[in-house]
Structure 1
Amino acid sequence: MHGLGNDFVVIDARSAPLAMSEARARAIADRHAGIGCDQLIVIGEAADADVSMRIFNADGSEVEACGNATRCVPLFVGRDVTIRTQAGLLDARLIDGGASVDMGAPRFEWDAIPLAYPMDTLTMAASWEDLPAPAAVNVGNPHVVFFVDALDGVNFDRLGPLIEHDPLFPARVNVNFAQVVGENHIRLVVWERGAGLTRACGTGACATAVAAIRRKLMTGPVTVSLPGGDLLIGWTPRGHIQMTGPATHVFDGEADWSRF
């Protein structure tokens, strides 16, 4: 499945629970020797929701949230669902061509991002090279957002991993490079923690829209244009984030489990 080109191997573990290790997730995600994906998604049972969702990045690390994958879950199950994730309980409902998801409330406290030490997260007293001071937002996973004048001049491959692994971010961080291109319209490129450059990042779009509204750059709802397409993000201060966008089922298949 994929959401705007952010692609997933989705495994149904509701009737047959499975053990997933970092090494196994990395092997499945390998595009040359495995199946290939940005993230591996395991759908299981949950005591307090319709289903649970575990998320593993291409490097094998397990993470708390993935917005594009969340939109795929109701399409995978075939109906509106509540989803238990490490980031909390999410509501996802089917719409024509995709899904709309209540992503919960963002957090801005420095230790909720988390950062290594106290700092204002709206305009951080930190930057890298000639990038402007960023904002930090936790939307179930940690994000840092840079609003730049032009995306074309940014070296994503160099700055992305440099910032992701900076000691300021003890849990590492997703790095968002954003350009305001119109009224309530942002162009966005995301260096995703554990996956690198991606065609789309749903939580990155949420974090960036929230940061733009907090900085009074726009009021929303915000159209976020990623390399893979557009997401619509709605948020009002002290409210929940609503993310709406496409989800696509590509194919079903079988594989020899022992190969991984």
Structure 2
Amino acid sequence: MENPLTFHRYHGLGNDYLVCHHSVATQLTNQQIQRVCDRHYGIGSDGLLVDGDDGEIPTLRIINPDGSEAEKSGNGLRIYARYLFDCGRVAHSPFKVNTLGGQVSCLVEEGAHQVVVDMGEARFNPAALPALVEGTEALALPLMLGGKSWQATLVSMGNPHCVIRVQKLDLEQVRQLGGQVETLPLFPRRTNVQFVEVVDRNNINIGIWERGAGYTLASGSSSCAAASAMYKLGLVDEQVTVHMPGGQLTITLNKDFQVRMRGPVQKVATIQLDKDCFFDMHG
């Protein structure tokens, strides 16, 4: 007998995900997952987190609303950690999680509303994204967008990021240009995009265009990438508060560019999907 199509909705700073067990995900086609994530025809979310719990170390798969698969997600990892805690599979001590973008360490703090994730190393080699750019670093890569010249810093957090520094953050600009940057030919697997305004040595404002999801209120891996890029450029100190439309995350870096993220998670609902959602009314 098939498992009911049960999903758990959480959000991290307005970046919302549905979590389901892999036995639920295996019942769905890629097209049906896209329908589930649709905000008008399904439940709606910024992506689906699939819990693979068969091994000793939990494994997380991250599926974008367009059906593509992401290697890593900071908000997704915080949400998955909280989900594991809510299921009673972890406690208030560090534990490992496997992702396509590498293994990370998570900690659900007392009260369960704050989660810390050691996101691993920020890497600046374009080949790590991958990006079709020569050299071992691309810290001031020239881009022509909307008839204007911009400079980008390429960062891999286990997933690809193109960080563009601006004097003043304009979220409408993020919406207009983010999709163009995501699909530039120099990013064969596309890329996440951040526009960054440095406020001072400990604060940055960012706008986010997420690969496979579009304009997003908040993103953990984007926060890590943006803070790492500004740290690499010598513009911020080792602890940075990243301000996004959805709220704030605290990013801590060391000299080896190991990145730690701390931020909130809230549970919203447990939802059982009706398969009538998938009926083709136009067939």
> What is aligned with 1:12?
21
Alignment of 1:187-198 (within 5 A): 187-198=205-216
C-alpha spacing 1:155/1:207, structure 2 compared with 1 (3 Å):
same
> What is aligned with 2:50?
42
For 2:129, the aligned partner's letter is I
Residues 160-190 of structure 1: CA distance to partner in whole angstroms, max 9, x if unpaired?
1111111011110111001011231000110
Residues 145-173 of structure 1: CA distance to partner in whole angstroms, max 9, x if unpaired?
01101113852222111111110111101
Q: Does 1:184 align with 2:202?
A: yes
C-alpha spacing 1:172/1:146, structure 2 compared with 1 (3 Å):
same
Alignment of 1:139-158 (within 5 A): 139-152=157-170, 155-158=173-176
Name the TM-score, length of structure 1 as normaliser.
0.93
For 2:96, which of 71, 79, 82 is the aligned residue?
82
For 2:70, which of 25, 43, 63 is the aligned residue?
63
Give 1:33 shift: 0.7
- Name the CA distance, whole Å, in 2 between partners of 1:33 and 1:8: 16
- Name the CA distance, whole Å, in 2 between partners of 1:70 and 1:94: 11
> What is aligned with 2:122?
106
Give 1:81 shift: 3.2
Give 1:77 shift: 1.2
Point out the structure with max Rg over C-alpha. 2
CA RMSD in angstroms, aligned pairs only: 1.8
User: More strand by proportion, 1 or 2?
Assistant: 2
Q: Does 1:26 align with 2:34?
A: yes
Q: What SS does the aligned partner of 2:124 have?
A: coil
- 1:21·1:60 contact (CA, 8 Å) conserved in 2? no
Residues 104-141 of structure 1: CA distance to partner in whole angstroms, max 9, x if unpaired?
11221121111123144112143434353110000011
> What is aligned with 1:216?
234
Give 1:225 shift: 0.3
Alignment of 1:225-240 (within 5 A): 225-240=243-258
Q: What SS does the aligned partner of 1:253 have?
A: strand
Q: What SS does the aligned partner of 1:155 have?
A: helix
- 1:17·1:44 contact (CA, 8 Å) conserved in 2? no
Matched residue pairs, number? 258
Q: Does 1:93 align with 2:93?
A: no
Residues 213-255 of structure 1: CA distance to partner in whole angstroms, max 9, x if unpaired?
0000011211000100000001123242100000111011111
- Stretches of structure 2 that go unaligned for 5 or more consecutive residues are 1-9, 279-283
- Name the CA distance, whole Å, in 2 between partners of 1:253 and 1:38: 16
**Percent of counterpart pairs with the same letter?**
36
C-alpha spacing 1:131/1:70, structure 2 compared with 1 (3 Å):
farther
C-alpha spacing 1:103/1:145, structure 2 compared with 1 (3 Å):
same
- 2:133·2:186 contact (CA, 8 Å) conserved in 1? yes
C-alpha spacing 1:131/1:221, structure 2 compared with 1 (3 Å):
farther
Name the TM-score, length of structure 2 as normaliser.
0.86
- 2:171·2:207 contact (CA, 8 Å) conserved in 1? no
Q: What SS does the aligned partner of 1:126 have?
A: strand
- Name the CA distance, whole Å, in 2 between partners of 1:92 and 1:145: 25
For 2:72, the aligned partner's letter is A
For 1:105, the aligned partner's letter is E
> What is aligned with 2:4?
none
- 2:106·2:115 contact (CA, 8 Å) conserved in 1? yes
For 2:59, which of 52, 59, 67 is the aligned residue?
52
Q: What SS does the aligned partner of 2:218 have?
A: coil
Q: Does 1:246 align with 2:264?
A: yes
